[in-house]
Every structure is written in structure tokens, then in C-alpha cells.
């Protein structure tokens, strides 16, 4: 059959890989959106915060870990209360409206993986949509290609958004800072009173290693 001939020629491999990438992207989306981003539990002590022993000596001694005014838990360093999730989140980065969940200490690495897979899917889909277009200056051409044209433009917009988001997050990770700390540095006590602009920065290689590994 035609299907067997296509399989023998390897023509089904690329569509299969594309479908698997889309499936992987969907699974990662649900994983990141449904998992615990690093909620601070009431029974936890502030000294249990991972990596806290590394960063505390670089922070001025007069800055004390405070108790959250909303959920009344002791906030570890770099934690922030999210009013949408109604929890304090460890190493809070931002609340993602696409995921309806916070991006924090536990799901931030998976969030980067999700963005990377999504970018590959969008680039692949954009290539497929572009390759299906053939340009002619006629009304009939527009009627027959309007779906592909609109699809390509939408894919292009989402690709730009995802690419910018991924690049910005990789930059912040390489500096060992978060979106929240980067945007509101002048309002965060342990950054405002620090002698260094970023007391958590330990070099690009070590920052990436600690984040992903």
C-alpha cells in the first residue's frame, strides 16, 4: 500500500516525530501547570530552604527572614506570596497566566524545558505552513490559501513571544536572579541593602549548573 511505501522511504518518520513533540509539549504543559511550584508549608522551618546557607552570608546581617502577612508562614530567602495562588512560593519567579500557576523553585526548570519544546514545535509548524504557500497576485489564490496564511501569521507571533520569553529566562538564570527580583530589585529588602547588585550571582557556569542540576 501507499502507507507501507511511505514507511519504507522514511517519509512517515518526520510526521511521527512532530506528533511526539506536540504530545510532549502538551504533557509538559499539564505537568508544569499542575505541579507544586515550591509552596512554603506552615510546618517548615526557614533553615530548611535549599541553598540558603550559600546565599545568607552574602546578605547584610540586619535583614531578617520575615513572616508572611497573608498565610503567616516564615518566608525563606527569595520567597514571595502569590495572591492568585494564595501561597508563598520558594524562589518565586512569576505567576504565569498561561499556566494558571506560579513558576518557582520546583517547576522553573521544567518550565524552561516546556518553552524549548514549544519553540521547536512552533518553528516546525511555521516551516510546514510556509512551505505550503505559493504566492500569486489573484483573488482565487487568497481564497485557497487564507487558512495557511493566517496559520503562519499566528505561528509567527507565538514563536516570537516564546523565543523572547525563553531568551529572557535563560539570561536571568545565567545571572541567578528571578523575574520578580529583576523587575522589583529596588523594593526587595535583601537586594536593596546588599553591597552587591546581585548577591546570588556565582558565575554563569555555576548558576546554570545549580539551576538545572
Span 59-73, average pLDDT: 71
- Please give the C-alpha separations between residue 165 and each of 21, 102, 138, 199, 208, in angstroms, as whole numbers: 19, 15, 38, 24, 17
Give the pLDDT confidence score for residue 5 in this predicted structure: 57
63: pLDDT confidence band, cut at 50, 70 and 90? Answer: low
Cα torsion angle, 24, 26, 29, 31, sign: negative
Query: Nearest 5 degrees, angle CA 176-CA 34-CA 77?
Result: 30
**Model confidence at 65: pLDDT above 80:** no
Span 112-125, average pLDDT: 96
Residues with a catalytic annotation lie at: 96
Per-residue pLDDT tens over the stretch 142-194: 677 788 888 889 999 999 999 999 999 999 999 999 999 999 988 888 888 77
Give the pLDDT confidence score for residue 9 in this predicted structure: 58
Give the pLDDT confidence score for residue 180 in this predicted structure: 95
Mean pLDDT of the chain: 84
**Model confidence at 2: pLDDT above 60:** no
- Please give the C-alpha separations between residue 151 and each of 48, 102, 126, 158, in angstroms, as whole numbers: 49, 30, 8, 11
**Model confidence at 132: pLDDT above 90:** no
The C-alpha atoms of residue 87 and residue 141 are separated, in whole angstroms, by 54
- CB neighbourhood size of 27 (10 A): 12
Give the pLDDT confidence score for residue 7 in this predicted structure: 55
Supply 152's cell numbers. 503562519
- Residue 117: its H or E element: helix 108-131
Give the pLDDT confidence score for residue 136 in this predicted structure: 62
Going by the DSSP 8-state scheme, the letter that residue 102 receives in this structure is: E
Span 44-48, average pLDDT: 52
Span 73-83, average pLDDT: 91
Going by the DSSP 8-state scheme, the letter that residue 45 receives in this structure is: -
Span 193-208, average pLDDT: 88
Residue 72 Cα to chain centre, angstroms: 28
The strand ranges marked E within the chain are 80-82, 87-89, 94-96, 101-103
Integer Rg of the chain from CA: 23
| Of 75 and 24, more confident | 24
Give the pLDDT confidence score for residue 4 in this predicted structure: 57
Give the pLDDT confidence score for residue 167 in this predicted structure: 97
Amino acid at each position: 500500500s501507499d502507507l507501507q511505501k511511505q514507511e519504507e522511504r522514511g517519509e512517515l518518520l518526520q510526521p511521527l516525530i512532530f506528533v511526539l513533540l506536540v504530545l510532549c509539549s502538551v504533557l509538559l504543559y499539564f505537568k508544569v501547570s499542575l505541579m507544586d511550584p515550591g509552596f512554603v508549608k506552615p510546618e517548615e522551618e526557614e533553615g530548611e530552604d535549599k541553598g540558603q546557607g550559600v546565599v545568607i552570608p552574602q546578605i547584610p546581617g540586619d535583614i531578617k527572614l520575615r513572616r508572611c502577612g497573608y498565610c503567616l508562614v516564615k518566608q525563606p530567602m527569595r520567597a514571595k506570596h502569590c495572591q492568585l495562588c494564595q501561597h508563598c512560593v520558594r524562589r518565586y519567579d512569576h505567576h504565569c497566566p498561561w499556566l494558571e500557576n506560579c513558576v518557582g523553585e520546583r517547576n522553573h526548570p521544567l518550565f524552561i524545558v516546556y518553552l524549548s519544546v514549544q519553540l521547536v514545535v512552533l518553528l516546525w509548524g511555521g516551516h510546514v505552513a510556509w512551505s505550503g504557500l505559493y504566492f500569486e497576485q489573484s483573488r482565487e489564490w487568497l481564497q485557497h490559501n487564507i487558512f495557511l496564511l493566517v496559520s503562519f501569521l499566528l505561528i509567527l507571533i507565538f514563536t516570537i513571544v516564546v523565543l523572547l520569553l525563553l531568551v529572557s529566562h535563560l539570561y536571568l538564570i545565567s545571572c541567578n536572579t528571578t523575574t520578580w527580583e529583576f523587575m522589583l530589585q529596588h523594593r526587595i529588602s535583601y537586594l536593596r541593602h546588599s553591597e552587591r547588585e546581585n548577591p546570588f550571582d556565582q558565575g554563569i557556569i555555576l548558576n546554570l549548573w545549580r539551576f538545572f542540576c
